[in-house]
């Protein structure tokens, strides 16, 4: 209902050159009648928001497959599908309906940008103009965790021993049972989980050395990272995680933290700077080793050097180069 209310409001100006308009779709995607309503309503909403852009045909930049039904009706000079997940494997979605929309948008797009090898391979099978551009990192922001004294978060100011940290959304793809088991196994450490919790409270394990802090502002994440002695990526191994390219990995490395993670195709690429664990016992042992080792400036520098290679600025330059090629080709076709 909140989304529906926002849909009737004008676009909200966020900053210079950037406005946001809420788009509402009814989720019964298998219904042909609902699909027609969604297409008409979404097309009308998008055109309403586009009135402030001027007469030039826009570039339609899509980050979810649900726009497949109407995005081709907007008269865009190019359609880009920035596909960063296997959306059909996300929790609580109609997998078949979302996969159909995903495939449709992939075929329709002039350029498909993917963030992981599994997604790249699945999308390239449908559209040869598919490229792989991994996620970047706001390096300067997260490197503040090692750049000098930062305010100590009050929620963990009382912790005297080592801290194992996590930042990010705590959803069904996070193995909270593994986190609880690790906390019981490594009682000398305090496990601090920072991020919005989207799991029922009764499903969360509890332990004297385990703290679920909830969401915290992005601007403050380096303050928490400065207190972490190690960081973890405790994913459940499912189809969604297999296709994911976790932002938090690069953020941890930008903070210079030792990282222990489960094994996925994208994370395994960083095994030279990340401890990869394929069993709970291996996870525990790698984490115990990380906590027992003294902070080595050379290792911290190495981790940060890896993160610095993939800043968002570098990724934007790469993406814009790809986009310019598409626009040039479109201009030639029109001429």
CB-CB contact of 229 with 259 (8 Å): no
Q: Which two tokens stand for residue 101?
A: 């929309």
Question: What is residue 191's predicted lDDT score, i.e. its pLDDT?
Answer: 98
- What domains lie within the chain, and their CATH numbers? 2-136+312-334 (3.40.50.2000), 139-308 (3.40.50.2000)
**Token pair in block for residue 14:** 């966020």
Torsion angle in degrees (nearest 10) through CA of 113, 119, 121, 122? -110
**Tokens 């986190």 -> residue:** 179
179: phi > 0 → left, psi -120 to 50 → alpha, else beta; which?
alpha
**pLDDT by residue for the chain (335 residues), tens digit each?**
887 788 788 888 889 888 888 888 877 777 888 888 888 988 988 888 888 777 788 899 999 999 999 999 999 999 999 999 999 988 888 889 899 999 999 999 999 999 999 999 999 999 999 999 999 999 999 999 998 889 989 999 999 999 999 999 999 999 999 999 999 999 999 999 999 999 999 999 999 999 999 999 999 999 999 999 999 999 999 888 998 899 999 999 999 999 999 999 999 999 999 999 999 999 999 999 999 998 899 999 999 999 999 999 999 999 999 999 999 998 888 87
Task: Report pTM.
Answer: 0.87
CB 281 within 8 A of CB 288: no
Which are the contacts of 149, defined by CB distance < 8 A and separation ≥ 6? none
* Strand duo 78-83 + 111-114: pairing: parallel
Q: Which candidate, 57, 77, 80, 56, places its Cα nearest to that of 67? A: 80
Judge contact between 100 and 217, C-beta under 8 A: no
């Amino acid at each position: 209902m909140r989304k529906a209310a926002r849909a009737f409001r004008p676009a909200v100006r966020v900053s210079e050159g950037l406005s946001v308009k809420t788009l509402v779709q009814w989720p019964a995607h298998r219904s042909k009648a609902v699909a027609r309503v969604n297409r008409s309503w979404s097309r009308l909403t998008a055109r309403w928001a586009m009135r402030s852009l001027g007469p030039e045909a826009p570039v339609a930049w899509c980050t979810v497959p649900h726009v497949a039904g109407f995005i081709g009706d907007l008269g865009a000079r190019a359609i880009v599908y920035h596909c960063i997940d296997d959306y059909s494997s996300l929790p609580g979605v109609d997998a078949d309906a979302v996969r159909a929309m995903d495939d449709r948008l992939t075929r329709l797009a002039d350029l498909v940008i993917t963030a992981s090898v599994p997604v790249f391979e699945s999308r390239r099978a449908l559209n040869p103009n598919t490229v792989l551009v991994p996620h970047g990192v706001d390096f300067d922001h997260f490197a503040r965790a090692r750049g000098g004294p930062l305010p100590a978060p009050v929620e963990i100011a009382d912790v005297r021993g080592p801290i194992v940290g996590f930042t990010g959304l705590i959803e069904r793809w996070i193995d909270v049972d593994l986190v609880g088991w690790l906390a019981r196994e490594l009682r000398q450490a305090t496990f601090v989980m920072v991020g919005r919790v989207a799991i029922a409270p009764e499903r969360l394990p509890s332990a004297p050395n385990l703290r679920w802090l909830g969401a915290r502002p992005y601007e403050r994440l380096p303050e928490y990272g400065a207190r972490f002695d190690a960081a973890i990526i405790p994913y459940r191994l499912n189809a969604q995680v297999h296709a994911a390219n976790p932002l938090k990995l690069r953020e941890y490395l930008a903070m210079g933290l030792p990282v222990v993670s489960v094994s996925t195709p994208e994370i395994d690429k960083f095994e030279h700077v990340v401890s990869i664990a394929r069993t709970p016992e291996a996870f525990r042992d790698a984490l115990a080793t990380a906590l027992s080792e003294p902070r080595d400036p050379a290792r911290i520098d190495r981790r940060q050097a890896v993160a610095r290679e993939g800043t968002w600025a570098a990724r934007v330059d790469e993406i814009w180069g790809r986009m310019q090629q598409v626009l040039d080709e479109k201009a030639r076709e029109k001429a």
